[in-house]
Amino acid sequence: MELITLMLTTTLLAFIVMYFFTHANKRIQLVRTMNKLPGPKEYPLVGNSLELAVPRNQFFKIFDDRTRKWGPIFRTWEGPLAVLHITRPEHAEIILASSKHIDKSLVYTFLHPWLGTGLLTGTGAKWHSHRKMITPTFHFKILDIFQEVFVEKCQLLVEKLKSKANNEPFDIYPFITRCALDIICETAMGTEINAQEKTDSDYVRAIYDISELTLKRSFQPWFWPDLVFNMTDYGKRYSECLSVLHGFTTRVIRERKALRSSSNGKHIEQTVDEDAELLGKKKRLAFLDLLLEASENSNGSALTDIEIREEVDTFMFEGHDTTTAGICWTLFLLGSHPEYQDKVAEELNNIFQGDNRLATMKDLNDMKYLERCIKDSLRLFPSVPFIGRTLKEDTSFDNYQVPKGTLVNLQIYHIHRCKDQWPNPEKFDPDNFLPERISKRHPYAYVPFSAGPRNCIGQKFALLEEKTMLSAILRNYRVESHEKFEDLTLMNELILRPESGIILKLTPRS
């Protein structure tokens, strides 16, 4: 018996030694391979994480300084995890154009409690199935209906800004945020939250708080374990926000299903044409209706209520914060460059001829110069400045072989500043988007909506919303920026925003 015990113990110890030797060897190989890339010195266990033990308003400067020192391609370590940083369009193409490297990186898992595994955070068969189901729903007739909502909410915004049109500086960011929330809530769920009227809404506050809490958690590894995070005040507030957001979406889904049941099974095509008759003026067709219709016609792969909630919540998250940032940065740049603002005003005068009528879809399509201004604003200040992916196989970048499993940080902010792609890359210049200039650039030199299989499904929606809101403001007010770019502190959050907001002066246009 003692011999058998000795043999079993020896065998177990041998397996343990082999296990640790194999994994230690793999770890050594990983470190050696990744450290062939340039990058800052790392420390045991924590890697380069200690560099981020600073106030939040210094994060962006650290990332920018790292890139200027070690770019265009370099590595860092987030604790024990290797991260590859990409700042060139040809390297971005390797990732974005691939149908293999579509898995998001670790940081996106912190969005799972809120957004689940919808189009933004999901992967694999579920992601492919949902993407295939949802993509056709964004056709032009749907965007026409959404544009009606854009115009209506922007008219209210113009009214709200009247009290600020006194040439005194103020922060326009909250005004744009609330308008964008009104738009996305009605277009996503077909219901109203009246964020522009009720600024103390529990839903609006929960949206703000959960975004900030997600960011705090992602940058502090000691909050990564659910057990630890859930015990903190941050975790408790996060749970409260989830209860508000999921409760609201779940209730709207239940009501929307009941409404569809009472419509005698009419299809989307009928609903589009009979929107006012079927749903009433305040019950327009919404993204949720498109999801329900697509799910019902999916030949056995219908979405569950939880999956529907995930996609609606994703649309809510991606559809208000990103457009808010894009609109605010464009206002800042036009307010800093009156010569370009005058050209936008001239274009709007040519389209509307002094008439106060509301903008139509044709009007929006005719706003070519405004569109170029928006695009160069998104180049300088992409709403999503960084995208995270995970390599699914060993991949070569120039002379570097990067192993499978490495986290990849595609730095859109820096890709948009490549000197060989953009003349004077730090300068705001709407002519960057003249056709002759576009044709000379690498196709992945401009990716504010990502690119490839995981590009943003709502980019046409976003551009139309931004045109509608900006044209409504600029038809009524002249904008002057109160701060210079060098005075701003950029916040490296889920969305790229200035710490102090966007401080403008408004004066009425005669």
Q: Quick one: how far is CA 261 from the chain centroid?
A: 34
Cis amide leading into 89 (omega within 30): no
CB 462 within 8 A of CB 321: no
CB 362 within 8 A of CB 355: no
d(CA 334, CA 205): 30
Token pair 């005003």 in the structure block, residue: 345
Q: How many other CB atoms are there within 10 angstroms of residue 200's CB atom? A: 7
CB 130 within 8 A of CB 308: no
CB 282 within 8 A of CB 303: no
Residues with Cβ within 8 Å of residue 477, at least 6 apart in sequence: 161, 165, 506, 507, 508, 509
Angstrom CA distances, 367 to 376, 471, 481, stand at: 15, 9, 22
Angstrom CA distances, 66 to 71, 75, 76, 113, 220, stand at: 8, 10, 9, 31, 19
What DSSP letter does each residue of 389-451 carry, written as one string? EE-SS-EEETTEEE-TT-EEEEEHHHHTT-TTTSSSTTS--GGGGSHHHHTTS-TTS--BTB-
DSSP-assigned letter for residue 5: H
Helices then strands, counting H and E runs in the chain, come out as 20, 11
Q: How many other CB atoms are there within 10 angstroms of residue 97's CB atom? A: 13
Side chain identity, residue 135: T
CB 402 within 8 A of CB 349: no
Query: What residues pair up with 390 in beta bridges, in sequence order?
Result: 407
241 is annotated as contributing to ligand binding: no
| 3-state class (DSSP) for residue 193 | coil
Query: What residues pair up with 497 in beta bridges, in sequence order?
Result: 491
Token pair 């909630």 in the structure block, residue: 309
Q: What angle do CA 7, 13, 18 make, to 5 degrees?
A: 125
Angstrom CA distances, 93 to 442, 445, 446, 447, 451, stand at: 10, 9, 11, 10, 8
Q: How many other CB atoms are there within 10 angstroms of residue 18's CB atom? A: 10
What DSSP letter does each residue of 243-271 carry, written as one string? HHHHHHHHHHHHHHHHHHHTTTT--HHHH
Determine the straight-line distance between the first and last CA of the chain, rounded to whole angstroms.
100
| 3-state class (DSSP) for residue 383 | coil
* Binding-site residue set: 456
* Binding-site residue set for heme: 456
